[in-house]
Structure 1
Amino acid sequence: MKIVVIGGSGLIGSKLVAKLGEHGHEAVPASPASGVNTITGEGVAEVLAGADVVVDVSNSPSFADADVLAFFETATTTLLTAAADAGVGHYVALSVVGADSLPDSGYLRAKVAQEQLITKSGLPYSIVRATQFYEFAKSISEAATVDGVVHAPPALMQPIAAEDVASTVGRVAVGVPVNGVVEVGGPELIGMDDLIRASLTARGDSREVVTDPHARYFGTELGERSLVTGEGGLKAGTTFADWLAAQAE
């Protein structure tokens, strides 16, 4: 099966390409570095020729509200048009758990716009919504730091290892299109404030973490379970402790 991975050189994409290849699929990584640009359209039709599946795990280079919206709308429109022309039988995209319930976040609004373009395209599709990656704990803490102090809400998270995200996306990609959403999260629930404390401690970072129910997460205030999978969501197996231990090896 030929599977084109858009964003194939990134955190999830590189892991996904490796996993698909291990299972005997022709996994083709595609990114601007390989001459495939979903914004300009360069190389898109060529790389999708003969593809059975296209998986989009790409991300915007800028998270400014207008930039990220323009990126996902333009890139997704380009990919959907080329996928339809190439007769691709399964369009898969990675999105975020809670995207449709947190409209104050410009990034999540852009992901919802991406999802809507896919669902209305008429192509057989699957959308995988994942929770926050363990790998992003550091950037989350940096974004929440004001004058050297981290302000974080106690809202529950269900963080997941990027490796487990790639495994889930891979299984969905080689399966039958669900024409809907598959949610996946980690095996444990933890407050964002506690996750940040654990992450800072593991890195030897002594910054104070203040629990603030109104602290915003990338522009949006969170409900208690905004970032947790719904009923029927998949649970990955790697715990945060296991992931931290692996990083120290």
Structure 2
Amino acid sequence: MKVVVIGGTGLIGSKVVGTLQEQGHEAVAASPNTGVNALTGEGLAEVLQGAQVVVDVSNAPAWDDEAVMHFFRTCTGNLVKANAEAGVTHYVALSIVGTDRLPDNGYFRAKLAQEELIKASGIPYSIVHATQFFEFVNGIADAGTEGDTVRIAPVKFQPIASDDVAAAVTRTAVGTPLGGVVEIAGPDVFRFDELVREVLAAQDDPRTVVADPHARYYGSELRDDSLVPGPGAQLAATRFSDWFERQR
């Protein structure tokens, strides 16, 4: 089976391509680095020739509200058109748990717009909603930092390892189109501020983590369930504590 992975040279995409190739599929990494640009449409028709499955794990290069909305709407519009012309029979996209719960978050709004375009495309599809990656915890702390203080909302947080995200995306890509959404998350639920505090302390980071119910997460105030999946989510095996020790 030929599978084209849009964003196939990135963190998740490279893992998906590698696993698919190990399974014997013809997996093609498609990104500007390989001459395929979903934003401009360059190279899409050529790379999709003979493809049965397209997996979109691309990410916007800029995260301000207007730029990220333009990126996902334009890329997805180009992919919908190119997929239909190529006869693609399964369109898989990686998105985020909570896209419909955080309307003040420009990135989440853009991902929701992407999902709506895919659902309306008429192409059989599957959407994978993942929680935040283990690898992003330090970046989240940086985004919430003011001086020497990190303000994090004391809400539920259930991150997942990027390896487990890639595995779930791969399973979905070789399976039957869902015609809907599957949620994936790590096995453990933390309190957001407590996990960030523990991580920074373990790294000898001198910043103070403050539990602030009004702390914004990339522009949005959080409810207790904003970042965790609902019932029926697929829970990955990798625990944050084990992953973190390996990184250290």
Contact residue 7 and residue 58 of structure 2 kept, 8 A: yes
Secondary structure of 1:205 counterpart: coil
Secondary structure of 2:179's match? coil
Cα deviation, residue 21, structure 1:
1.1
Shift of 1:245: 1.7
- Displacement of 1:201 after TM fit? 2.1
Aligned counterpart, 2:197: 197
1:188-237 alpha-carbon deviations (Å, 9 max, x no partner): 00111012112212322121000001101000011101111111111001
Q: Which amino acid aligns with 1:53?
A: V
Structure 2 unaligned blocks of 5 or more: none
Q: Secondary structure at the match of 2:18?
A: helix
Q: What is the aligned partner in structure 1 of residue 9 from structure 2?
A: 9
Alignment RMSD (CA, Å): 0.7
Equivalent position SS for 1:107 = helix
Check if 1:187 corresponds to 2:204.
no
- Structure 1: which amino acid aligns with 2:125? Y
Residue identity in the other structure for 1:130: A
Q: What letter corresponds to residue 207 of structure 1 in structure 2?
A: R
Hey, what does 1:106 align to over in structure 2? 106
Q: Distance in 1 between matches of 2:246 and 2:52?
A: 35
Question: What aligned pairs does 1:189-228 form with structure 2 within 5 A after superposition?
Answer: 189-228=189-228
* Matched residue, 2:239: 239
Aligned-partner Cα distance in 2 for 1:194–1:15: 30
More displaced, 190-199 or 169-178? 190-199
- 1:171 and 2:156 equivalent? no
Counterpart-to-counterpart distance in 2, 1:55 and 1:193: 33
Name the SS for the 1:100 alignment partner.
coil
Letter in 2 for 1:23: Q
Q: 1:40 — aligned with what? A: 40
Rounded to whole Å, the distance in 1 between the matches of 2:194 and 2:47 is 44
**Alpha-carbon distance between aligned partners in 2 of 1:228 and 1:28, rounded to the nearest angstrom:** 32
The residue type paired with residue 88 of structure 2 is V
Given residue 15 of structure 1, which amino acid in structure 2 is its aligned partner? K
Write the distance in 1 (CA, Å) between the matches of 2:61 and 2:195: 26
Matched residue SS, 2:91 = strand
Query: Which aligned segments of 4 or more residues in structure 1 are displaced greater than 3 angstroms?
Result: none
Aligned partner of 2:154 in structure 1 is 154
Report the equivalent of 2:123: 123
Question: Any idea what the Cα deviations from partners look like across 1:138-192, whole Å, max 9, x if unmatched?
Answer: 1100000011210001111110000000000000000000000000000000111
Count of residue pairs brought into register by the alignment: 248
Q: Distance in 1 between matches of 2:105 and 2:138?
A: 19
Tell me by how many angstroms 1:12 deviates. Answer: 0.5
Maintained 8 Å contact 2:37/2:44: yes
Post-superposition offset of 1:110: 0.2
Amino acid at match of 1:180: G
1:77 maps to 77
Contact 2:53 2:88 in 1 (8 A): yes
Identify unmatched segments of 5+ residues in structure 1.
none
